[in-house]
Amino acid sequence: MSDARTFHLESALLPDGWRHSVRVEVAPSGDIESVTPDAVADADGAEVVGGPAVPGMPNVHSHAFQRAMAGLAEAGAAGADFWSWREVMYRFANRMGPEALEAVAGQLFVEMLKAGYTAVGEFHYLHHQPDGSPHDEAARLSLSVLATASRVGIGLTHLPVLYARAGFGQTNARTEQRRFVNSVESWRAIITACGLASREMPNARVGAALHSLRAVPPDMLHQALEGLDESMPRHLHAAEQVAEVEECLAATGARPVAWLLDEVGVDPRWCLVHATHIDEAEVVALARSGAVVGLCPTTEANLGDGVFPLDAFVAAGGRFGVGSDSNVTVTPSAELCCLEYGQRLTTRRRVRAGGGEAGTRHAGAELWKAGLAGGAQALGRPIGAIAPGCRADLIVLDAAHPSLTGRVGDELIDSWLFASHESPVRHVMVGGEWVVRDGHHRLEAEILESYRETLAGWR
């Protein structure tokens, strides 16, 4: 087609494996139109791209505002835990206005792109003013996130979050949680406003999120799901802390994931974030449901959550994606490395994600491919593969980087995930547009400047 742009990739990870001399045609919409391996370079004026290309990683779970506090909850008493971290987090959550959120999310989204994430699921619960009263435009803060993602050029599945109460058995939210709270109706109105805004954004869509079984009572959860657009991704935090499993058992007679499977009927549209504490029956049932588990290994380590039983879950056919969550780490390679290391430390074996005959499958490459498939499913967008019909979202590695030199095919991803202390990501494309060239984002200097101005003096 005449308006399509054509790229000639030196080598690329396609759905059927690594291929050389790959011609990729991208439609003006940003969708890939055709992919042709073993093509002749510059036969048709294509832009020649040196270095190995892989699909960009979807980031299934982020709270953008938490980037501003990363590292500031590391001082505490010996009893510091998830719940005491949450108190520090609430202080930041209540300082964020629209401009600050745009500055912080802008910096974060640039960092994500430079690290190899090409799309993000923003699990967004900062809706109102700190006293709980709505902004003049009820979706104001959501619209800030949508506009920032569009300006920076990262793919976005925006997930407005329903939040109602402080915990099991409570009827109200705490003072610090007031700005998170909506009725089902006011939450739907925010989703609708975001849906309208995202129509003008080729790399964005809207999904639905329920904060957790702690924060959304069962009746309200059922009501929220009724009449929800059938195709929408549905995200929810589940079973991250032992205390919440115990409280859920006491309140409902079931563990959180078992309750969801039995009472809600979790299916492939669902992404259960964390799902850390699940028993053997839940492992199998959750894997069979076809839902994605959104694993956030560096945040889960940072918060002292526990280790998800990935070995058993994958053996049962389970699907997973990775998320940067609290954004203490904003690097897909580190997230996947930490995920694999959690399994190695608990099983005392190696190459857990490879899992095949010795030497036949590469842990790093298997993790990357699984993260692409699970991430695309969880974000509900056509991403995660260099293939016709998918968005042209890809990253190009620096083959001359000391950690990658001499590596070919899957060894490139292994060496990146397990043995690189600097990022080998060189170029990044989202929806057919280069958003990072030679390691730099076009807007990085001005975005960093406003991030610095925003954070000056914050504690």
Cα–Cα distance for residue pair 158/155, rounded to 1 Å: 10
Is residue 393 part of the contact set for ligand NGQ (CB under 6 A)? no
Of the pair 109, 180, the CB lying nearest ligand NGQ is at 180
Of the pair 378, 412, the CB lying nearest ligand NGQ is at 378
User: How many C-beta neighbours within 10 Å does residue 283 have?
Assistant: 23
Cα–Cα distance for residue pair 228/236, rounded to 1 Å: 15
What residues from 281 to 300 belong to the interface with ligand NGQ (CB under 6 A)? 299
CB of 123 to Zn ion, least distance (A): 5
Q: DSSP string of 41-110?
A: TTSS-PEEEEEEEEEPEEEEEE-GGGGGGTTTT----TT--HHHHHHHHHHHHTT--HHHHHHHHHHHHH
Of the pair 166, 443, the CB lying nearest ligand NGQ is at 166
- Amino acid 323 reads G
Determine whether 135 is an active site residue.
Answer: no
Q: Choosing from 31, 305, 325, 414, which is the catalytic residue?
A: 325
- Tell me the C-alpha to C-alpha distance, in Å, between residue 52 and each of 17, 172, 414: 12, 52, 13
Nearby residues of 307 by Cβ (< 8 Å), 6 or more positions away: 276, 300, 342, 343, 345, 346
Closest chain position to ligand NGQ (CB): 63
- Among 200, 135, 202, 145, which residue's Cα sits nearest to residue 393? 202
Q: Are 123 and 161 a contacting pair, CB within 8 Å? A: yes
CB of 238 to Zn ion, least distance (A): 11
Of the pair 247, 311, the CB lying nearest ligand NGQ is at 247
Cα–Cα distance for residue pair 124/82, rounded to 1 Å: 19
DSSP code, position 267: -
Query: Given candidates 111, 122, 325, 393, which one binds ligand NGQ under the rule CB under 6 A?
Result: 325
Cα–Cα distance for residue pair 398/402, rounded to 1 Å: 9
Of the pair 65, 416, the CB lying nearest Zn ion is at 65
Is residue 237 part of the contact set for ligand NGQ (CB under 6 A)? yes
20 binds, among Zn ion, ligand NGQ, none (CB under 5 to 8 A by kind): none
Q: Choosing from 274, 401, 427, 441, which is the catalytic residue?
A: 274
- Among 10, 150, 17, 29, which residue's Cα sits nearest to residue 392? 29
Q: Are 123 and 215 a contacting pair, CB within 8 Å? A: no
CB of 433 to ligand NGQ, least distance (A): 31
What residues from 314 to 333 belong to the interface with Zn ion (CB under 5 A)? 325
Instruction: Mark 84-123 with x for binding to ligand NGQ (rule: CB under 6 A) and - for no binding.
Output: --x-------------------------------------
Determine whether 222 is an active site residue.
Answer: no
Query: Given candidates 102, 240, 282, 335, which one binds ligand NGQ under the rule CB under 6 A?
Result: 240
CB of 150 to Zn ion, least distance (A): 23
326 binds, among ligand NGQ, Zn ion, none (CB under 5 to 8 A by kind): ligand NGQ
CB of 161 to ligand NGQ, least distance (A): 8
240 binds, among Zn ion, ligand NGQ, none (CB under 5 to 8 A by kind): ligand NGQ
CB of 250 to ligand NGQ, least distance (A): 18
Total residues interacting with ligand NGQ, rule: CB under 6 A: 9
Nearby residues of 295 by Cβ (< 8 Å), 6 or more positions away: 274, 308, 310, 320, 321, 322, 323, 335, 339
DSSP code, position 175: G
102 binds, among Zn ion, ligand NGQ, none (CB under 5 to 8 A by kind): none
- Tell me the C-alpha to C-alpha distance, in Å, between residue 126 and each of 66, 163, 353: 11, 10, 36
Supply φ then ψ for residue 304, to 5 degrees: 70, 40
What residues from 29 to 68 belong to the interface with ligand NGQ (CB under 6 A)? 63
327 binds, among ligand NGQ, Zn ion, none (CB under 5 to 8 A by kind): none
Residue with tokens 């902004």: 135
423 binds, among Zn ion, ligand NGQ, none (CB under 5 to 8 A by kind): none
420 binds, among ligand NGQ, Zn ion, none (CB under 5 to 8 A by kind): none
Alpha helices in 280-331 (DSSP H): 280-289, 297-302, 310-315
Is residue 326 part of the contact set for ligand NGQ (CB under 6 A)? yes
CB of 398 to ligand NGQ, least distance (A): 32
Contacts with ligand NGQ, residue ranges (CB under 6 A): 63, 86, 212, 237, 240, 299, 303, 325-326
Q: Where does this chain bind Zn ion (CB under 5 A)?
A: 325
Catalytic machinery residues:
274, 325
